[in-house]
Each structure stands twice: as structure tokens, then as C-alpha cells.
Amino acid sequence: MSILQPTYQHNLGYALGGGGARGFAHLGVLKALDESGLKPDIIIGTSAGALAGVFYADGFHPEEVYELFQKKEFLQFAELSLPNAGFLKNSGLCNLLKSNLRAKKFEQLKIPFISVATDWVRGRTVTFSEGDNLVESVVASCSVPIIFQPQYIDSVAYVDGGVFKNFPVSLIRKECKYVVGVNVSKIAPLAKMMNIRKMSERTFRMMANSNTLLDRDLCDILIEPRGISNLSMFDLKNVEQVGRIGYLTAVKKMQEENAKQITKRCLRYNELGKIVKEYIKKTSI
């Protein structure tokens, strides 16, 4: 038996799953994690998780992100198009990101960030974590097939990362000692008949939900906000309410003994890191 302890590139990682408008719960969770003193060394996000994650990695406070979406309608972030590869263009979301993100490339973010998308041609999960395709990679991660047209990056068509990896814990598991995962993809029983748009939405949600099972078991702390499963993927009328649910869920979760112990270890690790950096700074003068 080896006595060597495994080494990790990062101490703490956040994995934020996809879920459309339910992803505003991520903002409440991030606020609660901030209040507990935790700060991630890396963030990975799929779809709505990529959207919340990139703003957080760019230094936005959750309250600032709420303001960007308050009193907005879904079609303000989308544009109708000829339905050849999708009914809508993600041009509005692209403009929102370009207008508000301070970072123009991955390397300018305050926290390392990974966006998860799907290569539509080759049928595989792809991650983006460097270069100047920051905005395009997040838009790609949010481009639900059929509803939205694919996002092209370097002439390759990409769609929502939730097709194969809606809850991307496994993609950073080996790199992180601890992973906090936020899963917002649970679905509710069908309440009534649907139109074709809602049928497409529900089909995608069922598919995305089915590929989260393995990743749920890989989390050190798993946070799953309840009471949002009936929310439409594109409902922007309850942004703050959904965020509040995420916040309360996370506060409760962080009071559990396992979460307390992990938080304690992470805070101790951060303190030691500060001491080491200060020592190196003094001795290098």
C-alpha cells in the first residue's frame, strides 16, 4: 500500500450544472458559499451553470448578476430565425456577455473557469478554458439544440454541454481535493399537455437529467435546490425567488457536519497559503 497522499492541482472546485432559468439558483448558492468563507480555486459550468460561473469568475457579486436579468423577457436574449438548425439565435445573450464581462479572454478572469459544450459534428463533450473565445464558449454551452442555433467556434458547431455532461463534476474531480456541486436539473411530473416548444424543452431536460447520476455521487458537498423543478427553462419572471431558494438550500446544507468539516479544512488551507506567500515575499526581497 502506498503511503503517499494524492496530489491535487486545486484544493476546492465548484461544478455548476445546467437547468435554464433554474440556474439562477446558482447565484443564491454562490452567495451562501461566500458567506461561509469558501472561495473556489476553479469553476466549471454547463449551460446555465456556465453563465453563472463566468460572471462569478469575473468578479461579479451574485446581486450584480440578478440586476442584469431583472425585468427582462426571454426574447430580449434571443432572436427569431429561419428554423434551419434552430428556431432562435443566441445573439442577445452574446451581446449581454460582451457588454458586461470585464474579462475578454479566459486568462483575464479572477478565477480559473471551464465552460462545457458539445461538439455537434463529432458528438462529444468539449471544454474551453483558455484563449479569447470566452463569450462564444459560454453561448455555446447555453445553446439548447433545436431551440437555439449552434454556436460556431473556429468553424466548428457547438451546442449545449448538457447533451452529454449536464453536471460536470467528473471533468474536474481528479484535479480537486474537494468539489462542491450544484445540481438544478431535477424535473417534475408532467402536469398537462404541451406545445412543440415545451415538448422540445422537456425532452432535453429529461436527457440532461439522466446524465447527472454519476456526477452526483462524485461531489464532496452536493447542493440540490428544491421547489424549482416546475420552472420553465426560459422563465425570467422569478429570478430573485429562484436565487433565494438556492441561497436557503445552501445555507442549510453548509450546516451539516460533513460540510462544516470540509469548510474548516478549506479555510485552514487558505490561511496556510497566505502564510507561505507572505514568507516567500519576505525572503525574496
Which residues are tagged catalytic? 47, 160
Q: How many residues does the chain have?
A: 285
Q: What Cα–Cα distance (Å) separates residue 28 from each residue in 47, 94, 156, 240, 251?
A: 17, 23, 34, 9, 9
Radius of gyration of the chain (CA): 19
Determine the 3-state secondary structure of 6 from DSSP: coil
Distance in Å from the first CA to the final CA of the chain: 43
Residue 254, C-beta contacts closer than 8 angstroms, at least 6 positions apart: 32, 33, 36, 221, 260, 263
| DSSP string across 185-222 | ---PPP-S---HHHHHHHHHHHHHHHTTHHHHTT-SEE
